[in-house]
Structure 1
Amino acid sequence: MKISDEELDRELKMMKTMYGTAGQNLNKSNDQLRQEIQSSLLLEKLTKDVSVSKTAMRNYYDNNKDIYRIPTAFHISHITTSTKSRQTKSYVNWRKVSPLKSWRWKNPLMNLLPIKGRHGLYITG
């Protein structure tokens, strides 16, 4: 199976129309782009008549679930204040604007803060 020069030129022209510099911002030469386009078109031609049954898709997914899992992510904030009352105010204000639905608040982490007399507010969720 072969991709004609006309097909490559048409796709490259379409890319230039859509993206302006056609990949020059990505430091790709015309030859590199043509090679990528050729690979893409070849893959399209090879797979255009391929159909996969729902059962085969389900079996593949069931046997490869680990690659589809998204690991848990956390947004962590650490606020230090000069007084305990400011710490409490910071926490109250944070709760008003926080988009986090689940959270934990760990009271002052004095032993972890390098600055004496500072109060910490450590929030994870």
Structure 2
Amino acid sequence: MDQEALVTDAQTLTRSLDETMIKPKGVMLARSSETGESKLWVVPSSNIDKREFYGLVAQAISAEDLSALDVGMVELVDMARADRMGFRQLVRAPGISRIHLKSNWVNGISMPEGIIIRMNL
């Protein structure tokens, strides 16, 4: 998968989701060290039903004609899970960003390699 296209599509999707009830507070493109697969973790601004979340994501991907991302790569991360994963301790990046992370430990929590698109928790 073309990393540049994946990041660009993740940024475009984040902008598009800003116009929906999802309004992402956190978005991170995480890469599994075991499988090499990428997941786009999205933390919505408020609680949202899974079915509604994935429906809005699918609509945005289709409307923006994103070719590097598909709905199966997107993962809903609620605020409680984001806290357990240590997202609040990472960085504060409220806009659209491209912050590269290597596998790291943050306050005793293992963080995967990835790219932060937004982190405003």
Structure exhibiting the larger radius of gyration computed from Cα positions: 1
Q: Please identify which structure carries the higher strand content.
A: 2
The answer to whether the superposition gives a TM-score over 0.5 is no
Q: TM-score, normalised by structure 2?
A: 0.22
Q: Please identify which structure carries the higher helix content.
A: 1
The structure showing larger relative contact order (alpha-carbon pairs under 8 Å, at least 6 residues apart) is 2
